[in-house]
Structure 1
Amino acid sequence: MEKFTVHTGVVVPLDRSNVDTDAIIPKQYLKSIKRTGFGPTLFDDWRYNEPGEPGMDHSKRAVNPAFVLNFPRYAGASVLLARENFGCGSSREHAVWALTDYGVRAVIAPSFADIFFNNSFKNGLLPITLPAEAVEQLFQETGAQEGYQLTVDLERQQVLTPTGAAFGFSIDEFRRYCLLNGLDDIGLTLQHADEIRAYEERRQQAAPWLF
């Protein structure tokens, strides 16, 4: 998993509340568990003017020019600004995979659905909860300035604006540690690879019939 320390990126504002995981990545794309290849189908039903299916050449599909991800000014955005209850609905981990595969490193919102929130940390995506008034301010500033960027400093737990204003955010210390060091559940387990190997060797000697 990629480490997250300090990230600066263009902000894309998704001015919708209660964005559910089916909107983030529709159900027809859930067959793959490779964690990659979902970026072109992020917000699929909103992003394109025609239905999508797995295996399509999405670069040839007609895009919806009214959807914010298709605005040229937000090309290459890596910080998503959203409204309350982002990531509600089903528990599909693919929603986080689609965001990270698109290039999103952090999502800022007043609140998140619990399962999406937990899935984000396990996949290197940083969900940041800020007060509604702070989020509103960021929406206003993003809309007023093309190429608006935010810096997310996980070490200091701050979101920094181009003017130098800082918004502090809280995060569980263990989750912060994992993101700073690029450790998902597998990475955490592999930190104990020597102990696991030694245990398996002892077990094989004690119960060889199992092997």
Structure 2
Amino acid sequence: MEEFKTLQGIVAPVDRVNVDTDAIIPKQFLKRIERTGFGQFLFYEWRFDEEGNNNPSFEMNKPRYEGASVLISRANFGCGSSREHAPWAIMDYGFRCVIAPSYADIFYNNCFKNGILPIKLSEEQVEDLFQRTATHEGYEMNVNLENKTITDAYGLHIDFDLDEHRRQFLLQGLDDIGLTLQHDDEITAYEERHSAKLFGQTASV
């Protein structure tokens, strides 16, 4: 998994509360067995009309948000079913950071396992980000996970909180398997001791 230390990127808004995982990645696209390729279906029913053409009224389809890597939204982002395909789609589309006032627990946890930084800010702080995104075309921010700060070119400075264990997951680019492999020497030593004990007992019998 790629390390996350700092991110300088364009911000794209999805100005809706209770964005559920079926809106993030509709169920008809869950047949893929790979983790990649889901980005093209992100927010599919909002991004496209019935003929498959871009929906010009959906925020993310505006040219000013092309290439965005930071997504901002409203409360209870990622609610609904527990599908891990939701963060897969967000990551595959190009977003490395999501900012919202609150998240569904399972979605929040899945983000860290897939290299996405989900930041929780107050309703007032998120509203300010929406205003800045609307005011400045091509609005960018810098997300610094090492210092736990968010800044922009217009005087913004926000300190955000994050559990240290999860912060280290992203800083070091670790998922659950990677974290386990950090203890490879201890695991190998245990297996050798266990094998010696097991086969020693078998031989004595």
TM-score by length of 2: 0.92
Amino acid across the alignment from 2:62: F
Amino acid across the alignment from 1:7: L
Is residue 72 from structure 1 mapped to residue 63 from structure 2 by the alignment? yes
SS in 1 for 2:19: coil
Could you tell me which residue of structure 2 aligns to residue 55 of structure 1? none
- 1:121 Cα shift? 1.0
Question: Root-mean-square deviation (CA), in Å?
Answer: 1.6
* Number of aligned residues: 200
**1:197 and 1:36 mapped to 2: Cα distance?**
32
Residues 128-137 or 155-164, more deviating: 155-164
Matches within 5 A, 1:19-168: 19-50=19-50, 61-168=52-159
Residues 192-201 or 158-167, more deviating: 192-201
- 1:205 Cα shift? 4.2
**1:72 and 1:181 mapped to 2: Cα distance?**
33
**1:124 and 1:33 mapped to 2: Cα distance?**
19
**1:140 and 1:166 mapped to 2: Cα distance?**
15
Amino acid across the alignment from 1:98: A
**2:36 and 2:192 mapped to 1: Cα distance?**
35
SS in 2 for 1:9: strand
Could you tell me which residue of structure 2 aligns to residue 9 of structure 1? 9
Structure 1 gaps of 5+ residues are 52-60
**2:153 and 2:30 mapped to 1: Cα distance?**
38
Could you tell me which residue of structure 2 aligns to residue 54 of structure 1? none
**2:31 and 2:129 mapped to 1: Cα distance?**
36
SS in 2 for 1:87: coil
TM-score by length of 1: 0.89
**1:205 and 1:195 mapped to 2: Cα distance?**
15
Query: What percentage of residue pairs aligned between the two structures are identical?
Result: 61
Structure 2 gaps of 5+ residues are none
Is residue 176 from structure 1 mapped to residue 167 from structure 2 by the alignment? yes
